[in-house]
Chain A
Amino acid sequence: MSDKSASAYWAANIRIITICMVIWALVSFGFGIIFRPLLAGIPIGGTDLGFWFAQQGSILTFIVLIFYYTWYMNRLDKEFGVDEQ
């Protein structure tokens, strides 16, 4: 692999990691804790959306994030020809 495509591959990886980490922080620290008062108006199961994110929603989002990243990277690996044969 040329140096140029190596750095492009790494840049693409960093970009998707950054996007995933922003969502990771947003659902847990954001919706689950800091912004909970802002979500207080959205009722769910006898409480509010922030409580749901803190006790269930963030965990479900984490699972989706990991599988999305895995799927995305498998595609990226093939595109740059760095996948395992």
Chain B
Amino acid sequence: MDQFTLNLLVVGASFALYVGIAIWARAGSTSDCYAASRGVNPIVNGAATAADWMSAASFISMAGLIAFVGYGNSTFLMGWTGGYVLLALLLAPYLRKFGRFTVPDFIGDRFYSQTARLVAVICLLVISITYVIGQMTGAGVAFSRFLEVTSTTGLLIASTVVFIYAVLGGMKGITYTQLAQYIVLIVAYTIPAVFISLQLTGQFLPQIGLWSTHTESGLPLLTKLDQVLVELGFRDYTGHHGSTFNMVLFTMSLMIGTAGLPHVIIRFFTVPKVSDARKSAGWALIFIALLYTVAPAVGSMARLNIITTIYPHTTETGALDLERPLSYAERPQWMINWEQTGLLRFDDLNEDGQIQYYNAANPPAAAEELGWAGNEMVTFNQDILVLANPEIAQLPGWVIALIAAGGLAAALSTAAGLLLAISSAISHDLIKSMINPGISEKGELLAARISMAFAIALATWLGLNPPGFAAQVVALAFGLAAATLFPAIMMGIFSTKMNTAGAVTGMMVGLLSTCLYIFTYLGWFFIPGTAMLENVPANWLFGISPLSFGTVGAILNFAAAYLVLSFTKPAPQEVRDLVESIRVPRGAGGAVAH
């Protein structure tokens, strides 16, 4: 059986499974649709949260991000996991006790204001829509690469599948589909990693292999990697090279941004009890850590693998033999496969028939003498690392097919969670709470399904016409989640006095300052050429990178809210009683229809 048929079979089988689950678990009420009737086992919810959270970026891109920067990009590992501590300790149990369906629901009721609800809906829509674009384009790319269709066709297939199972199943269908998607993606991610770890270190677990001895050289893996990188003129892998200040700020922004993402928060509304919400966050982090502790191992091992593939010989001292690099004609099959996609490209600059890979800006001492004319691996897309892993490790075709299904599972599970967050904000918060409070349960369910269909159509259209820089758009989503929703929810729980004026001012300050700062350096609405200042460290205010600004936005939000509170009337007694009641677990009922 050829690879294409195999990919088609494995991906097709996984899609049939998702749609089958949705039919089995279809939603019959709004409580089913928004919160799976609060009947989800906390461990199942943990796995669903992990799939909901881990997007195409986590699955495909993260190992590459770490591989090509090393220590400096540990920020993603700490930031995207540390947010769960904030969720478990500061938000999830109280929001579950509150017993509503959406994030704007909490903000609107807690700050007793339709204005606050509306501002929260706007923040939620901006965050979730920017985030969903990346998922849809990611799914489209994965389709086109493995199923040999155009990325437009791939995107349309992906939208159709999400449409079927999200609209039909609501939160209940999405939950059990996400559980299946988690299993698919974690198996797909782990298998090639285990084999690479065995090949390089003899260790079965990549989490241990990362700190073990590189069998071939007898040196610790990371020492060996540092050594070969420095030989080729690159920065060492384990060294700290950037600004410590921005590293701290960026990690913090990712942490509070994660905790403030509405599609993650609403997952904690589905568990039966308050104590389950705490436990469920712990399980979510375990399931996430299964991938996040493998990713740095994959990153470092793949980087070393590529270098030793290009320089297969060593000198007597154990250094790379720079005189005998890989001959282009003898390159391995995986390189030939990926060259066809354009994601990997060589250019024989000095026409010697060999591949020289090094840092041309800081060439090794011997470069000139050897007649090197520049780095000949001219393109190496970082996403290849994970996608080509099974081929690099010479694993059978079904593992390659599994990677395709895993990448799609990661993108689709996150897209479905986002679409549910978007549609519930429209049908529940805009229509039911603000425009037509008299709407029947059936009418609201229909509205939820229609708005989900619209959200999918919008996401597909945006995926076909993506705005300039996908990565920077995601930075905006994290920055805004950190600067708007996280502080508002936290103050709603931890301050009994916080009032409407304070919360609304805080969210507005967070929203505007973050947008303003990001757009100043990255262009208004990311339209190229509209940036007011060039995005270089010398121009940054106090040296703060626009990607790290979420933390500052959050601080401004808190400061503005407390400043306004200091000269306005604190929240009325009944609201304070409400806050007191959400602080204790007792009395958390089932679904509260209101």
Question: Which A residues contact B (CB, under 8 angstroms)?
Answer: 1, 6, 9-10, 13, 17, 20-21, 24, 28-29, 32-34, 36, 44-48, 51-52, 54-56, 58-60, 62-63, 65-67, 69-70, 73-74, 77, 80-85
Interface pair B82/A46, CB less than 8 Å apart: no
Interface pair B585/A83, CB less than 8 Å apart: yes
Interface pair B89/A34, CB less than 8 Å apart: no
Interface pair B293/A47, CB less than 8 Å apart: no
Interface pair A82/B212, CB less than 8 Å apart: no
Chain B 284-311: CB-based contact to A (< 8 A → 1; otherwise 0)? 0110010011001000000000000000
Interface pair A33/B247, CB less than 8 Å apart: yes
9 interchain residue pairs of minimum CB distance:
A46-B220, A45-B211, A54-B74, A46-B223, A46-B222, A66-B282, A82-B584, A70-B278, A47-B238
CB distance from B359 to the nearest CB of A (A): 21
Interface pair B85/A84, CB less than 8 Å apart: no
Q: Which of A17, A29, A63, A73 contacts B252 (CB 8 A)?
A: A29
CB distance from B20 to the nearest CB of A (A): 33
Interface pair A66/B585, CB less than 8 Å apart: no
Interface pair A17/B211, CB less than 8 Å apart: no
CB distance from B434 to the nearest CB of A (A): 32
Chain B interface residue count, Cβ-Cβ cutoff 8 angstroms:
51
B279 adjacent to chain A (CB < 8 Å)? yes
Tell me the B192-243 residues at the A interface (CB within 8 Å): 207, 210-212, 219-224, 226, 238, 240
Interchain Cβ contacts under 8 Å between A and B, 26 examples: A1-B586, A9-B584, A20-B85, A33-B244, A36-B240, A46-B221, A54-B74, A55-B74, A56-B207, A56-B296, A59-B285, A59-B293, A60-B293, A62-B81, A62-B82, A63-B286, A65-B85, A66-B84, A66-B281, A66-B285, A67-B279, A69-B88, A70-B279, A70-B282, A83-B585, A84-B273
CA distance A85 to B138 in the complex (A): 45
Interface pair B278/A66, CB less than 8 Å apart: yes
| CB-based nearest B residue for A43 | B220
Interface pair A6/B293, CB less than 8 Å apart: no
CA distance A84 to B74 in the complex (A): 39
Interface pair A84/B238, CB less than 8 Å apart: no
Interface pair B585/A77, CB less than 8 Å apart: yes
Residues in A neighbouring B244, C-beta threshold 8 A = 33-34
Residues in B neighbouring A44, C-beta threshold 8 A = 211
Supposing A45-B220, A47-B238 touch, asked if A63 and B211 sit within 8 A by C-beta, the answer is no
| CB-based nearest A residue for B249 | A29
Interface pair B251/A28, CB less than 8 Å apart: yes
B274 adjacent to chain A (CB < 8 Å)? yes
Interface pair A63/B248, CB less than 8 Å apart: no
CB distance from A48 to the nearest CB of B (A): 8
Interface pair B278/A54, CB less than 8 Å apart: no
Known: A46-B224, A66-B278. 17 other contacts (CB 8 A): A6-B583, A9-B584, A10-B583, A17-B90, A33-B251, A45-B221, A46-B222, A47-B238, A55-B210, A58-B81, A59-B293, A62-B81, A62-B285, A67-B282, A73-B93, A84-B585, A84-B587
Chain B 443-480: CB-based contact to A (< 8 A → 1; otherwise 0)? 00000000000000000000000000000000000000
**Best-buried of A20, A47, A63, A77 by chain B (most CB within 10 Å):** A47
Interface pair B88/A59, CB less than 8 Å apart: no
CB distance from B78 to the nearest CB of A (A): 5
Interface pair A51/B88, CB less than 8 Å apart: no
CA distance A83 to B248 in the complex (A): 37
Residues in B neighbouring A85, C-beta threshold 8 A = 586
CA distance A20 to B87 in the complex (A): 13
CA distance A21 to B83 in the complex (A): 11
B152 adjacent to chain A (CB < 8 Å)? no
Interface pair B85/A24, CB less than 8 Å apart: yes
CB distance from A68 to the nearest CB of B (A): 9
Residues in A neighbouring B210, C-beta threshold 8 A = 45, 55-56
| CB-based nearest B residue for A64 | B282
Interface pair B584/A63, CB less than 8 Å apart: no
